Structure 1
Amino acid sequence: MDLLTMAIKNEIRTQYKSVRKFSIAVGIPQSTIVSALHNGIGGTSYSTVLKICRKLNLNMYDFSPLFNTNYHGMSIMAAYSQLDEKGRYIIDALFDLELKRCKGVDYTAEIKETIAEAEKAAE
């Protein structure tokens, strides 16, 4: 069961105590909600999922693997977006070198060249 389906199921239990009460409150047929919870919310129409999430005060993107980033990762992305072109160039170059190091690729010759380019860009 995916994270969003589990979160919806838990919130329905917590806030409404039963699927029947929730279906009446949200205005969606009980059979639709039962089916979504049983089969996973992924097969349910976007508008229905959105309506369910809004009623339960859930952000469906918080449960998506595409958007599931920890706080540290989000703060890094926020800081990166504030950099100017030179700053992004330097971080991109450093990131590429670090990836090569992690993969075991010899990058020693490249590092001198990258540092020289970064110093030029910083001028």
Structure 2
Amino acid sequence: MNVAELAAEKGITRLCHYTPLSNLLHLAAEDRGLLSLKQLAATASEHDRQDLLRLDGHHDHISCSIEYPNAWYLRRRLFQATAIQRLFPDWVCLMLAPQSLWQPGTRVCVRNAAAANGSMIRDVSPTALRRSTRRP
């Protein structure tokens, strides 16, 4: 079974990504879609970097949760809001098609990717996806 088949079997219909509402305006106005921190650093466009520490160390990837929004992450971000985020406190949760799960270079983690400084992150495979989506 490949990753796409396993995702379908598990009923995975979306990936979720939080971003400040102000970033959504840039996403809608520009035709580039979501960009990683590494890609954003290479552009001249304004953006509100939301994860200031990026403890997982994967600046070349975009963090998403599988199927359900990561409410723990959002609460933490609201508590640690930057000055600009306190001025514009609204956030949105983007619901993305699950096809990114089976694209080359995709990685998954059994819990928040920042845990243990990203050491639990694995390249996506049926086994890694199965572990990452296991419910208690």
Q: Tell me the TM-score range normalised by the shorter chain.
A: under 0.3
Q: TM-score of the superposition, structure 1-length normalised?
A: 0.23
More strand by share: 2
More helix by share: 1
Higher relative contact order structure (alpha carbons within 8 Å, sequence separation ≥ 6): 2
Rg larger in structure: 1
